Structure 1
C-alpha cells in the first residue's frame, strides 16, 4: 500500500478546515438571519399576529394627568405608586361604590396595589376608598365614567358606565401582571456588619 505524499495530506487537512470554517460562518449568519426573516414574514403576511384587542376599555389620551383633574379634595389619601381606579359617582352612587369595592376585593393579593378614588356622592367612603369632589365638570367627563390611572398619575384606560365588571377586572389583572411591583429589596451595607 502506498502512502499519500505529505503535501497532499496537508492539502486535504486544509480543505477540511476551510469547510469547517465556512460551515461555522454559515451557522452564525443563520442564527442572526432566521429571526429577522421570520419577523419580516410575520409582519408582511400577518402570520401569527393576534387580531383581537386585549383591553376592554378605551385608551384615554385626552384625559389629563390626575394631578390636573379639577378636584376639590386633596389626594394625599392615595398611596403613591398605586394604580388608581377612579370613578364618577354623580348618579346611583351607592350602587357604583359597592360595585367597585367588590371588584377591588376580587383582586385578591394584588388588591393593595390598587387604590379607589370616588369622585362625587354624599355617602361615607367605603373601606380603602378616597373621596373627592369636582370643582367643575371637565369636558372629558360623563356620569358613571371610570378611569384606570397608572402609578405616575396618567389615565391609561377609560370605561363607560355600562362596562362589564369582568372586562375591567381582566384589564387591571393584565396591567398588574405586565407591570410587576418593584419593591425595594433589603440591601446589605458593606460598611456596617
Structure 2
C-alpha cells in the first residue's frame, strides 16, 4: 500500500480532474490534425457532392408557392411517372410526424397531383437534369442530396430521415 501524504493526494486529485477535462479536447484535436477515426466517405445512399443552383434559379414554371421552412423532395417524372409518384407519396407518409417538414415537388408527368404534392414543369430542361432523378433540398433551397433513378425508396427514406434528424429545425 502506497502511503501518500495529504498534500500529495490533493495534487493527484487535481491532476486527475485536469486530465478528465482536457483529455477529450486533446483527442478531438488529434482527430482533426491527423484525421484519425474520421470516415473518409459519406454515409448517405445518394450523392452528397452536388453543385446545383438554388431551387429559385431552376427553370421551372413556378406557379405554386412552396411552404417556407420545409425540406423539398424534387423529382423529375419522365418515365413510370405514376409508379414513382406513388412510391414517393408512400415515402412521405412513412415519415410520420416529420411529414409536415417535407414538401414533394414533381416536375413533369400527366397524372394529377397526389395529396401533399405540387406539380410543375420544366420551362427549359437544364443540362444537369436527368430523367427520374430526385433531389433533396434544404429549407434554404440548396441541394443537399441527389438520388439516381434506380435507388430504392427505402434508401431514399433513410437519407431523408437522417437529414431531418440531424437538422431538427
TM range (shorter): 0.7 to 0.9
Residue aligned with 2:69, SS: coil
**What does 1:109-124 align with in structure 2 at a 5 Å threshold?**
109-124=97-112
Higher relative contact order (CA 8 A, sep 6+): 2
**What does 1:34-183 align with in structure 2 at a 5 Å threshold?**
34-39=23-28, 40=30, 44=34, 46-47=36-37, 49-50=38-39, 53-76=42-65, 78-181=66-169
CA distance in 2, matches of 1:73, 1:175: 25
CA distance in 2, matches of 1:64, 1:126: 27
CA distance in 2, matches of 1:109, 1:45: 37
Q: Which runs of 5+ in 1 are unaligned?
A: 1-15, 182-193
Structure 1 pair 75/64, CA: closer, same or farther in 2 (3 Å)? farther
User: Over aligned residue pairs, what C-alpha RMSD do you find?
Assistant: 2.5
CA distance in 1, matches of 2:31, 2:46: 31
Structure 1 pair 45/150, CA: closer, same or farther in 2 (3 Å)? closer
Q: Does 1:31 align with 2:29?
A: no
* Number of corresponding residues: 165
1:89·1:143 contact (CA, 8 Å) conserved in 2?
Answer: yes
CA distance in 1, matches of 2:135, 2:32: 34
Deviates more, 1:123-132 or 1:66-75: 66-75
Task: Give the Å deviation of 1:86.
Answer: 0.4
CA distance in 2, matches of 1:143, 1:157: 16
Task: Give the Å deviation of 1:41.
Answer: 6.5
Asked which structure has the greater CA Rg, the reply is: 1
CA distance in 2, matches of 1:116, 1:71: 14
Residue aligned with 2:19, SS: helix
CA distance in 2, matches of 1:81, 1:69: 18
